[in-house]
Chain A
């Protein structure tokens, strides 16, 4: 079972690094605390919903910013929604870019908005791949007959 202990340590270290580097904040802990035996996949389910929603919103944002006449109100509504859902799962860096994005919307600054869209896409793909790695590690531990060391 040395493999399990090693994987568990790896998971604890990896999770700590995600908090340390600001990818996640305390809200992610809140989600983990809501997961129990009656809801063993709660975090994965919620995060998957977040991925689906975010991808839809990011596509909408890209389309809206390509228009001849830019509807800043519509863009702001999408960014507001992304800010709300990212804060709800604890994706702190995505949430922070959304705040800057909304300021550029207020100023009707097209260049600023385009820059923020690239940033938010970048932060989103980073946190997505980090969370996928985290979930994969959890799966490996479970497959090896170990338990997830919660709460961290």
Chain B
């Protein structure tokens, strides 16, 4: 199941898929990096929304951004809005432990393509990738 999603992603992009993990929690960053790497996705990290914006300002581009919601300096909602305003068309998936509908709705409206509740698992990541490959 995961192989087909990744194969079609690779066919679309022609190169290896890249991702950016945005989360202020060290433990979670390490787990998310490993989940992505396990599926063959090269990735980098940003410790908050501002770092994610700065990385993009420096000209970097990622196919997928895994965005936390509650972060210091710049939270996931504001960071997503800024990235979209900068013309970043990467797939942005919100991943947070928030489950209240209004909170998720606000995050989605900031410009997310998908939302998954923490903890992120291989199965949830594959769901995100399927949405990406069918977009």
Residues of A with Cβ closer than 8 Å to B? 27, 30-31, 33-34, 39, 42, 45-46, 49-50, 52-53, 77, 80-81, 83-85, 87-90
Contact = CB atoms under 8 A, between A and B. Distances in A.
Contacts of A34: 31, 34-35, 38
Nearest to B98: A80
Contacts of A87: 97, 118-119
A39 B33 CA distance: 13
Contacts of B28: 84-85, 88
A88 B118 contact: yes
Interface residues of B, number: 18
B15 interface: no
A89 B25 CA distance: 12
Contacts of A42: 34
A52 B34 CA distance: 19
Contact of A89 (B27, B121, B122): B27
B78 interface: no
A39 B34 CA distance: 9
B51 interface: no
B24 interface: yes
A128 to B, nearest CB: 14
